[in-house]
Amino acid sequence: EVQLVESGGGLVQPGGSLRLSCVASGFTFSSYTMTWVRQAPGKGLEWVSFIIGSSRDIYYADSVKGRFTISRDDAKNSLFLQMDSLRAEDTAVYYCARDVDNVTPDYMDVWGKGTTVTVSS
Amino acid sequence: EIVMTQSPATLSVSPGERATLSCRASQSLGSNLAWYQQKPGQAPRLLIYAASTRATGIPARFSGSGFGTEFTLTISSLQSEDFAVYYCQQYKEWPPYTFGQGTKLEIK
């Protein structure tokens, strides 16, 4: 079964850090572009970052650029999101998702269940 | 950045009836558009890609149409499990991926 499982969410104070993980199973993880998407409470979906499968090129939303770092460990079938200098507006459910295209990011066909990040004092 | 606008924000429809959801892009996408369904407390689920192609396992009552800047998701005969929030997403230009703000489909 193709599956993504996120972990690492929690409560953190403003200015703090958190590292999210996403473990993949059931498919050849190294062949895929992987994406983080977040959803603030009661709000819509917001793309955060992706790392392209073929080139390992990385892109970020302006709202997180310079504060978040995406990475992957293909040997461990894992995707990560290091989140530093966290703000209240980063409070959201963070989803890990698989992109269908290895070269040009397209749409996401597999999603994890998400992990909740709350930034509050 | 391509801005995606969905309408209406909320759509009230009775079970068994047809629902039509709209998505408009601020510039031409060709057919580079996807639709997702999200139920409360769940992750989004891919319904449609390339504007009109159903994803694996998606029932035939879901259909997508459109090209360029105007797109439509139609659910031909609403089932109870179809009441959810629907998002469109463009993948013509990135970064960033952009999503519409969502349409909530509720029971009338």
Q: Summarize pLDDT for B20-39 with one digit per residue, the tens.
A: 999 999 999 999 999 999 99
The pLDDT tens digits of the residues spanning B42-76 come to 999 999 999 999 999 999 999 999 999 999 999 99
Over range A29-34, report the average pLDDT: 94
Identify the pLDDT of residue B56: 96
The C-alpha R_g of chain B, in whole angstroms, comes to 13
Strands (E) in chain A, as ranges, are 3-7, 10-12, 18-25, 34-39, 45-51, 58-60, 68-73, 78-83, 92-99, 108-111, 115-119
Contact call for B46 and A107, based on CB within 8 A:
yes
| Chain segment B70-101, per-residue pLDDT in tens | 999 999 999 999 999 999 999 999 999 999 99
pLDDT in tens, A55-86: 789 999 999 999 999 999 999 999 999 999 99
Q: A97 or A56: whose pLDDT is higher?
A: A97
- A9 interfacial to chain B (CB closer than 8 Å): no
According to DSSP, residue B7 is labeled E
Whether residues B46 and A108 touch (CB distance < 8 A) is answered with yes
Q: What pLDDT is recorded for position A56?
A: 86
Whether the predicted pLDDT of A54 surpasses 80: no
Q: From chain A, pick out residues whose CB is under 8 angstroms from the CB of B87.
A: 44-45
Per DSSP, A74 falls in state G
Collect all residues of chain A within an 8 Å Cβ-Cβ radius of residue B34.
106-108
The closest CB to that of A47, out of B49, B56, B96, belongs to: B96
